[in-house]
Amino acid sequence: MNQRRSRRPAPRPPEGTPAPAELARMARSGLAAAARVARWADAALGPGGDSATADGKATLSDATAERAARDLDLTPEQVRADWDTARLAGLIEVHGDTARPGWRLRAWNRDDSAVLRGWVALCDAWSLAYPEPEEYEAAAVAEVVTAMPQVLSFLQLSAGPVPVPQLLDLLQQRVTELRTERCEVDYVPQPEVSGSDAARPGAPESPAPWPDASGATGGRPGTAAPEASRTEAARSGPGTGLRPRVPLQRPRPAPAVPADTDAPLEPLLDWALRALASVGALTYGDGQATLTPLGSWAVWVKLEQICVAAQSPAGNIEQGAEDMLRGCAQLRPNAARAEYRAWLAARPVGSAVTELIEAARGEDALLRGLAFEALRVVGAPAEPEVRTVLDEPTLRPYALLWLAEHDGADPEDAHEVLTREEATWLWVDTAAAVADHGEAPLLVRHLESAVQPTVPALLTEVRAVGHPRTVQVLVALAAAHPDPALAKAVRRAAFQVHTGG
């Protein structure tokens, strides 16, 4: 029986939007320098090559930057800039002191969707791609970063040049709303207080209570929060293209505006527009800003993606493991398992298991998880080969969970076989899959599955675990989360990982 979701006609992009192939060509052109450095790093810094960094962090060492500059006929500064762009776009991943191409780079010349996803990842990280003004407090900068999705949405709806004074007025209104309406996170348990003491914007950023699925605070990982309806969750917009809809909360009294938020917004808006222009999302000059075709398309996609019904694939039985898993990605669990069974029945089990393991070794975290779901359908015949991957750090958490469930452990308790580090690595890997293929509300709800009791504890251990997708995951989580204080902390952690701090 087919359990596929009902289809709805795919929404049409706004009139004048270039075709996907043309958008991908634009993205390839804009990221050409970054792709060139990524390919150089793949050849020169891969296993058996020289070290990318002197300290095992993702920042290029001076010697490596100078070598790349000589080989590519660039300046060291250009190499460093292109290296950072390649990392933010997922074209290159750093593992200790070695670098390897990300899955997007491997698909660069044949997969337009991979190219566009890479560009969107860079666009989401615009505030990391362009240095922020040092003379302004971090709180003021964070407010502008949080408010810019509203500005981008307005630019997209305007479908043309917008004068900067008009954008400044919109930014000022949004920042005022943030200062007036936000609920500050209490980083330590505090007794009830009254009046203006109830909300203190200047409170130190120590451990915060966990947000539940709706964005309210007070829960802990593993504690079931009231399940919000899918319809309501879908109303929360992604972080780059539009203002997220925050669930109804009981507002606290309006806090007094602290001194560091009195910074003028004009130079901060100027910085934000220059940063977005640097990643190719808009053009900025002559007192006005205009979304580029890529920028307009990206904002539109984010507005539409949560409304698009999952489309069921066809012909999965005849596909290789990787294509079959991609085809099943949007199916409901029961329908996906039926596809796995049909696919397995059409080939020898030994070769099928080998093919699934090989797909799990790829760069796409979603396929890694789906491959082990398919191996659960295989059952006992897959056990010997699953055991052989226990020494592979990328697959070890998945293999341990598979073996625990195969040995009779309850799926809800199987995670107890993982060490803290393995559980954290798996959390980041799963978050990467959600960031690449899911919706913003799903990424927010993924917070509940972490083993850490507080947000700062999670961020500390995520930074330490060394997953190659850490920066992209934290940037996507900060963009998706409706709580400004938590998003600010996550964004700061992303910046620290990005800069090697």
Mean local confidence (pLDDT), 319-332: 87
Question: Which pLDDT score is estimated for 212?
Answer: 32
Q: SS3 string of 450-469?
A: CCCCCHHHHHHHHHHHCCCC
Question: Which pLDDT score is estimated for 220?
Answer: 32
pLDDT tens digits, residue range 413-442? 778 889 999 999 999 999 998 888 877 788
Please say if the pLDDT value at position 485 is more than 70: yes
Mean local confidence (pLDDT), 372-399: 90
- Res. 401 pLDDT band, cuts 50 70 90: very high
- Res. 315 pLDDT band, cuts 50 70 90: low
Q: Of the segments 14-23, 224-233, 234-243, which one has the largest average pLDDT value?
A: 14-23
- The residue among 477, 468, 469 whose CA lies nearest residue 450 is 477
State which amino acid sits at residue 237. G
Mean local confidence (pLDDT), 93-110: 75
Of 127-131, 176-180, 250-254, the poorest mean pLDDT is in 250-254
CB atoms within 10 A of CB 235: 14
What whole-number distance in Å separates Cα of residue 436 and Cα of residue 280? 20
Question: Which pLDDT score is estimated for 58?
Answer: 59
Question: Which pLDDT score is estimated for 338?
Answer: 82
Question: Which pLDDT score is estimated for 95?
Answer: 60
Answer whether 101's CB lies under 8 Å from 43's CB.
Answer: no
- Res. 235 pLDDT band, cuts 50 70 90: very low
Q: Which residue has the higher pLDDT, 42 or 279?
A: 279
The encoded tokens of residue 178 equal 């943030």
Could you tell me if residue 215 is left (phi over 0), alpha (psi between -120 and 50 degrees) or otherwise beta?
left
What whole-number distance in Å separates Cα of residue 70 and Cα of residue 76? 9
Flag whether the pTM goes above 0.75: no
Answer whether 265's CB lies under 8 Å from 173's CB.
Answer: no
Mean local confidence (pLDDT), 79-86: 90
What whole-number distance in Å separates Cα of residue 81 and Cα of residue 374? 41
Question: Which pLDDT score is estimated for 36?
Answer: 92
Answer whether 452's CB lies under 8 Å from 467's CB.
Answer: no
- Res. 276 pLDDT band, cuts 50 70 90: very high
Mean local confidence (pLDDT), 191-199: 42
- Res. 348 pLDDT band, cuts 50 70 90: confident
Please say if the pLDDT value at position 162 is more than 80: yes
Looking only at the bridges linking them, the beta strands covering 210-211 and 282-285 are unpaired
Cβ neighbours of residue 436 closer than 8 Å, sequence gap 6 or more = 117, 364, 365, 366
Strand partners, 283: 290
Residue 462 sits at φ, ψ, to 5 deg, of -65, -40
Answer whether 455's CB lies under 8 Å from 251's CB.
Answer: no
Question: Which pLDDT score is estimated for 501?
Answer: 58
State which amino acid sits at residue 230. R
Please say if the pLDDT value at position 188 is more than 60: no
Question: Which pLDDT score is estimated for 5?
Answer: 42
What whole-number distance in Å separates Cα of residue 40 and Cα of residue 207? 41
What is the Cβ-side half-sphere exposure of residue 54, based on CA atoms within 13 angstroms?
5
Question: Which pLDDT score is estimated for 253?
Answer: 42
Q: SS3 string of 291-335?
A: ECHHHHHHHHHHHHHHHCCCCCCCCHHHCCHHHHHHHHCCCCHHH
Q: Which helix (H) or strand (E) holds 289?
A: strand 288-291
Please say if the pLDDT value at position 346 is more than 50: yes
